[in-house]
Structure 1
Amino acid sequence: ALVDELRGTFEWVAGWDKLAPLLTPEALGLPRTARVADVGCGNSTLPLHLGSLYESVLGLDREQHTAETMRTQHGAEHRRVAWGTCDVCDADSLASACPQGLADLVVDKGMLDCAIVEHDAARLLCNVRSWLLSPRGVYVVVSFRKP
C-alpha cells in the first residue's frame, strides 16, 4: 500500500504510475466522454487521476466521512470529479445513490478483494453489472488475486 501522509491519501494494490497505461481511453477503447465510477474509492487519488483522462468521474465509498473529506479537499480544483456515498454491495444503497447505467467504465481497485473477505463478492459483481454499468460498459478489476 502507498501512503501519502501529506495529502492524507492511501492507495491499495497499486499507485497511479502502474495503473495509468491500463486505464487510458485508448487502452480501453472508450471516448474521453465516458462516464467513470471508482467503486470503494476510499481516500485514494485514483478518481483525481481518472479526472485528467475522462470528463466525468464519480468516486463511490460507503463511508460518508471519507467521501465528504475528499470532496472538501479536492472538489474545487477537480471539477470533473465528484464523490458519493453508497454501499455498492447493497442494491438499495446503490440505487438510491446513482441512476441505473451511470458508468461506461467502473474501476474496482481492491473492492472485490474486500467483498470476497466479507462474502459479498456475488452481490458486488451482480450490482455492478445489473445497475452501475451502462449496457456496453467496461468493468476493470485491480486485485491482489491472480486471474
Structure 2
Amino acid sequence: MMWDWVPNQRLGPIEIGISVETYVGQLGAQLLAEIDDSTGWDSYYIPHHDVYINAEDGEVVSISAHKSFYYGIKNVLGMTIEQLEALLGCKADEIGNSVEYEDGDIQTPYDYSGLGLVAWVSQDVIVNVVCTTYEGLD
C-alpha cells in the first residue's frame, strides 16, 4: 500500500474528515485508546503499517506514520528537516518545544500549518510525521 500524502486531505487511503469506522472495516484499524484526556480524541492503529489515526466524534482528525509517508516519490521519514523543506519548498511556520520520552529520546516538532503537517525530528532525522488540516478553521 502506498502511503502518499496530499496536503490537508489524506495519507494513503485515509481521508481527514471521513468516519473512522470506514478504516476499521477496510484496513482493520484497531482502537487503542478511547478519548485521550488531553485531546478528547480516540486513537486507532493500523497493523503492519505503523500508521495511527486520531478521531474526534467518530471522524478522522489526524494521521501519523512512523514507517512510510511519501510526498511525491520521496519517503519523508528518514530525511533531515533541510531535505524536507527543500522538497516542500518552504520553511516550518513554527518549531515547537522539544519533548523527552521515557527512553531518553528527544524529539522536536516542526509545524507546517498551511500544509497540515508536523514533522517530528530526533537526532536530525524525521522519525514521525503527522498530517491534519487547519483549513476552514478560524
TM norm. shorter chain > 0.5: no
Looking at secondary structure, tell me which structure has more helix per residue: 1
Looking at secondary structure, tell me which structure has more strand per residue: 2
Q: TM-score, normalised by structure 1?
A: 0.25
Q: TM-score, normalised by structure 2?
A: 0.27
